[in-house]
Structure 1
């Protein structure tokens, strides 16, 4: 798959592509990312890409024309057949919340054109004419869309075959259908007893017993308890979709009695 990223700061992405286990996806081109600077498509000696907003107000607005020229160059470089163009995604506070399902969708697609806004935003005329979807990381405002673009690329890259050391790793992630959309259970590793600031803390005994069925049930119960406490909305969605077993429901009722 191929992602073309329109950004005024392509240098922000270089360390991201070279770091961590997900670099395998970028180095192998399983996730082929190409960076485009709209300043290269701006006119004049100063290659201006922003201007003051009509009607007054603080800040600057990214101009439509450099973005449009940049997008045209991307379309030509991708050589896409008519009717099969990659969608254009703008990272924006008003967009759809990025979640696991969205990441999975992009991991199974041919990619997209990612537009990283800056300043006070992007000329609405470009959005109306060219943008197919807007995506947000949450109810807060970032200085630009680059961090959001990296979040999307990272979430997609780790879903690619062979990227993670263990093929089943991402299947045990929070929100994954393999966990029925619930939160992942807590994890523990050596030493068996940690001499922490509150005194000796032992890892759960069941995890060291080697009884796979008991371990699986323990992790399921921990996942249910954590989701009920932290994200009851996810638990409600799982129940509505029929993903909770009678044994799950018995355990959840026991929590309410504690």
Structure 2
């Protein structure tokens, strides 16, 4: 079914170098049993791992703490030219990804995955979808993995989204040329929550959105920089005062910059 160079590309531990190129995280791995997996259906598998191969996410990928598979949509296309799209029904500009083509890609992406969508969400990246947030990242991290369809052109035939109850998710209120960058952002936000990736579980507990608030300001050496001093509370050595200051600053910044988050935070705490 696959054309040369169009096969699904996997990323993770025990990768095998098959060319004179530098070691590639994307060559057909045998990942650690039970590792969290991201399967991305895309017209541009060469876009992966991209930034996911760098820093802590890249190190965790190489260690097998999670795995990435880029599945080339083109290999499931129709005819000699592997067409994946067609004109919109009813007319209009642009092209639409075909339901039959996407279904064949989903069939491959679903191999070995549980049918329960809580254990393995199937997601289509779309500006009309539910906004991706930290809660979404937590739910994905708690699953066994996720399959992400990267849209292109005018989108995907609605029938395949309805047939498989695919969840539509948006990175934000703007339109991009495709879902690959959004997919990397969402996967990054999810992978950093996996055990062992950051190395310090407290980091994820203290950062923005962990308790519904934006994060407090951070400071480090030098103690005085261009006449500006680190707040005295942070250098007092009094842990209670430090926590009190950080909480107050998180609340102040959230109220000023994100009234929506602040209102939700107040509502939750008033019920408690």
| TM-score (norm. length: structure 1) | 0.85
Deviations 1:84-127 (CA, angstroms, capped at 9, x unpaired): 78332101111111011111011111122111000111111221
Structure 1 CA distance for aligned equivalents of residues 173 and 150 of structure 2: 17
Counterpart position of 2:218: 187
**Is the CA contact (8 Å cut-off) linking 1:91 and 1:148 kept in structure 2?**
yes
Counterpart position of 1:253: none
Deviations 1:17-37 (CA, angstroms, capped at 9, x unpaired): 321212233223332221101
Counterpart position of 2:65: 30
Q: 2:159 aligns with which of 108, 120, 125?
A: 125
Unaligned runs of 5+ in 1: 246-258
**Is the CA contact (8 Å cut-off) linking 2:131 and 2:170 kept in structure 1?**
yes
Q: Specify whether residues 223 and 96 from structure 1 end up closer, same or farther in structure 2 by C-alpha distance, changes over 3 A only.
A: same
Query: What's the Cα RMSD here?
Result: 2.0
Q: Specify whether residues 157 and 87 from structure 1 end up closer, same or farther in structure 2 by C-alpha distance, changes over 3 A only.
A: closer
Q: Secondary structure, in 3 states, of the residue corresponding to 1:22?
A: helix
Structure 2 CA distance for aligned equivalents of residues 131 and 4 of structure 1: 17
Counterpart position of 1:102: 136
Instruction: Identify the range of structure 1 (227-236 vs 212-221) with the bigger mean alpha-carbon deviation.
Output: 227-236
Instruction: Identify the range of structure 1 (181-190 vs 54-63) with the bigger mean alpha-carbon deviation.
Output: 54-63
Question: How far 1:243 moved relative to its partner?
Answer: 6.9
Unaligned runs of 5+ in 2: 1-35
Question: How far 1:150 moved relative to its partner?
Answer: 1.1
Q: Secondary structure, in 3 states, of the residue corresponding to 1:72?
A: helix
Q: Which structure is larger by alpha-carbon Rg, 1 or 2? A: 1
Q: Specify whether residues 211 and 121 from structure 1 end up closer, same or farther in structure 2 by C-alpha distance, changes over 3 A only.
A: same
The answer to whether 1:145 aligns with 2:179 is yes
Structure 1 CA distance for aligned equivalents of residues 130 and 270 of structure 2: 25
More helix by share: 1
| TM-score (norm. length: structure 2) | 0.80
The answer to whether 1:212 aligns with 2:227 is no
Structure 2 CA distance for aligned equivalents of residues 4 and 243 of structure 1: 41
Q: Specify whether residues 82 and 229 from structure 1 end up closer, same or farther in structure 2 by C-alpha distance, changes over 3 A only.
A: closer
Q: Specify whether residues 133 and 83 from structure 1 end up closer, same or farther in structure 2 by C-alpha distance, changes over 3 A only.
A: closer
The answer to whether 1:240 aligns with 2:240 is no
Structure 1 CA distance for aligned equivalents of residues 148 and 47 of structure 2: 15
Q: 1:161 aligns with which of 174, 177, 195?
A: 195
